[in-house]
Copies of this chain bind each other. A is one copy, B any other.
Amino acid sequence: MSTIVDVCKLAGVSKATVSRVINGNGPVKESTRHTVYSAMEQLGYRPNTVARALATNETSTLGFVVSDFNGIHFGLLLKQASASTEAANKQLLVTDGHNDPDKEYEAIRKIEGSCDAIVLYSRTPTDAHINQLAKQLTVPLVVMNRLAPNPLCHVIAFDQQGAVEMMVDYLVSCGHSKIACITGTLNNPTGQARLAGYKNSLLAHGMAFDQELVVYGEYFIESGYRACKELIDKGVDFTAMVAFNDHMAFGALKALSEVGISVPEQVSIIGIDDDPTSSFSSPTLTTVELPIEKMTKHAIELALALTKDKKTPSFHLYTGRLIKRESVIPCADDI
């Protein structure tokens, strides 16, 4: 690989001049600029990224950490992240947090030195983790998927509780009162907020919270299947069901159809995510859409901006949107 010195020799100029034409800054006479260009071309010269990073103290890459590469929104998330990053002519360094706050912490500290800012999309870390990170990190941090503002870092949030409230409200407005719930993992803020939304909406409608109607899921399709089966096996009576994501709703659909319970005639179902498959299940799934792409775009752009100049920590809340499809209808038991 040829270096800047090779270009210097061939073009008969100094490193400074070559550097100027590479970076398009500083004044260079048109003619010398030209000779330098052709020298570079002749040599197939490409500036060394690493050397440049060392000299400028800028890597021109953005770190992106997700809790688990195999997560639901992952494709969209990275698609958008990559688009926004490339639009700014930067690179994306992505890392998997392995759904474990400690591993995630390690992962972040590891990539810290290779990027100019970090965006964290994760469900696992506690506030303590985040705070520690924000304090230790030498690069700006933008956190997605937190529930509350943080005095130490910027957060792009989604109103998890509000989304589930929206779902339950809708079911109630359709006359349902026996509303089952398949939760997600409850050991993190997202799951907890969603469950709070479920309880809260019931409460708001003067309905009692019944533990028996609640089964535990883990966001995967199988866990929705299993959870719903559990409900059926226990003989719990319900006319509607809230699933903490679309995939689990699909699993529930399967469990219900296996025992001959028809959706939506006997049971209405609603999910969250607006997974692409939701328009193609039978019946099509009523759900709440998360503005993942908008949020991601925002996060990346914020992170990019922070590499230029720090701002005081901000908080941005996004909300979901109800998408009505076939899986919810008025309650048949309704009197």
Q: Which residues of A contact B (CB under 8 A)?
A: 1, 46-51, 53-54, 59, 61, 68-71, 74-76, 78-79, 82-83, 86, 91-96, 109-111, 113-114, 138, 220-222, 225, 247, 250-251, 253-254, 257, 276-277, 279-282
Q: How many copies does the complex hold?
A: 2
Do A113 and B46 touch (CB < 8 A)?
Answer: yes
- Closest Cβ of chain B: how far from A286's Cβ, in Å? 16
Q: Could you show 12 A-B contacts with beta carbons less than 8 Å apart? A: A51-B54, A68-B79, A69-B79, A69-B82, A71-B75, A74-B78, A83-B96, A221-B276, A221-B277, A221-B280, A247-B277, A250-B277
Beyond A50-B50, A75-B75, A254-B280, whether A92 also contacts B94 by CB under 8 A is yes
Do B78 and A225 touch (CB < 8 A)?
Answer: no
- Alpha-carbon separation in the docked complex, A11 to B161 (Å): 53
**Nearest-neighbor residue (CB-CB) of A96 within chain B:** B82
- Closest Cβ of chain B: how far from A6's Cβ, in Å? 15
- Alpha-carbon separation in the docked complex, A277 to B225 (Å): 11
Do B82 and A78 touch (CB < 8 A)?
Answer: no
Residues of chain B within 8 A (CB-CB) of A138 are 1
Beyond A69-B78, A74-B75, whether A91 also contacts B96 by CB under 8 A is no
**Nearest-neighbor residue (CB-CB) of A71 within chain B:** B75
Do A114 and B61 touch (CB < 8 A)?
Answer: yes
- Alpha-carbon separation in the docked complex, A48 to B69 (Å): 27
Do A75 and B79 touch (CB < 8 A)?
Answer: no
Residues of chain B within 8 A (CB-CB) of A251 are 280
- Closest Cβ of chain B: how far from A64's Cβ, in Å? 9
Question: Could you say which of A94, A110, A138 has the most chain B C-beta atoms within 10 Å of its C-beta?
Answer: A94
**Nearest-neighbor residue (CB-CB) of A60 within chain B:** B114
Beyond A50-B53, A280-B251, whether A91 also contacts B91 by CB under 8 A is no
**Contact residue among B50, B109, B253 (Cβ-Cβ distance under 8 Å from A59):** B50
Residues of chain B within 8 A (CB-CB) of A95 are 82, 91-92
Do A282 and B282 touch (CB < 8 A)?
Answer: yes
- Closest Cβ of chain B: how far from A80's Cβ, in Å? 9
Q: A61-B114, A68-B79, A70-B76 are in contact. List 19 more A-B contacts (CB 8 A).
A: A48-B113, A49-B113, A49-B114, A50-B59, A51-B54, A54-B54, A74-B74, A74-B78, A82-B95, A83-B96, A91-B93, A91-B111, A92-B93, A94-B94, A221-B276, A221-B279, A251-B280, A253-B282, A277-B277
Residues of chain B within 8 A (CB-CB) of A282 are 253-254, 257, 282
- Closest Cβ of chain B: how far from A266's Cβ, in Å? 16
Do B257 and A220 touch (CB < 8 A)?
Answer: no
- Alpha-carbon separation in the docked complex, A48 to B138 (Å): 12
- Closest Cβ of chain B: how far from A316's Cβ, in Å? 23
Residues of chain B within 8 A (CB-CB) of A281 are 254
Question: Could you say which of A46, A47, A225 has the most chain B C-beta atoms within 10 Å of its C-beta?
Answer: A46
- Alpha-carbon separation in the docked complex, A62 to B51 (Å): 18
Question: Could you say which of A59, A83, A251, A254 has the most chain B C-beta atoms within 10 Å of its C-beta?
Answer: A254
Residues of chain B within 8 A (CB-CB) of A113 are 46-50
